[in-house]
Amino acid sequence: MAGASHYILDRPSFDEPVKVLIVVAPYYKDIADDMVAGARAELDAVGAEVDLVEVPGALEVPTAISIAYEAGIYDGFVAIGCVIRGETTHYDTVCNDSSRALQLLGLDGACIGNGILTVENHGQAAVRANPAEQNKGGGAAAAALHLIALTRKFAGQS
């Protein structure tokens, strides 16, 4: 819809420090670098401690998050990657399976911002990744922060 605007929640604030892991699949390195920059800026704005790990591809992102989630040392996670449609159905498998795995981890209690782009071409990815444009990396980090705040809110209630 042309001219549509999106409502963006106010950034949450935290009384206790936040530790977040960014898991990035840098297959399209320029896209990944822009998304990481956007995510880091959002996390820096709340004073989060940030670690970053790289994995080979989008399918490995949920596995890496699962390993880190089980370790129990992070409050939340930002998943970053990019899947560009090709000539085969591999695109559908990677998009669906990575998204489903992240959703299942979230339903298990992991606070995850999903920043795995699924696009038709590199140009679409570039606009979405650019922190000065759609800033999907920053949006994924914001989603993780909101889930962390919600988790802490409910943990504080009896």
Concatenated DSSP letters for 13-81? --SS--EEEEEE--SSHHHHHHHHHHHHHHHHTTT-EEEEEE-SSTTHHHHHHHHHHHHT--SEEEEEE
- Domain residue ranges in the chain: 19-155
Q: Residue 102 has what pLDDT? A: 98
Query: Residue 72: its pLDDT value, please?
Result: 97
pLDDT of 1 strictly over 80: no
- Which of 6, 90, 122, 146 is catalytic? The answer is 90
> What is the spatial distance between Cα 72 and Cα 100, in angstroms, rounded to a whole number?
21
Report the candidate in 62, 145, 60 with the shortest Cα–Cα distance to residue 111.
145
Beta bridge partners of 76: 20
**pLDDT confidence of residue 113:** 98
86 or 143: which leads in pLDDT: 143
| Mean pLDDT for the chain overall | 95
Top-level CATH class of 19-155?
alpha beta
Average pLDDT over residues 4-18: 91
Residue 39 has pLDDT above 90, yes or no: yes
65 in Cβ contact with 74 (< 8 Å): no
Share of the chain above pLDDT 70, in %: 97
Note the pTM of the prediction, 2 decimals: 0.95
pLDDT, tens only, 81-134: 999 998 888 889 999 999 999 999 999 999 999 999 999 999 999 999 999 999
Does the active-site annotation cover 6? no
% of the chain beyond a pLDDT of 90: 88
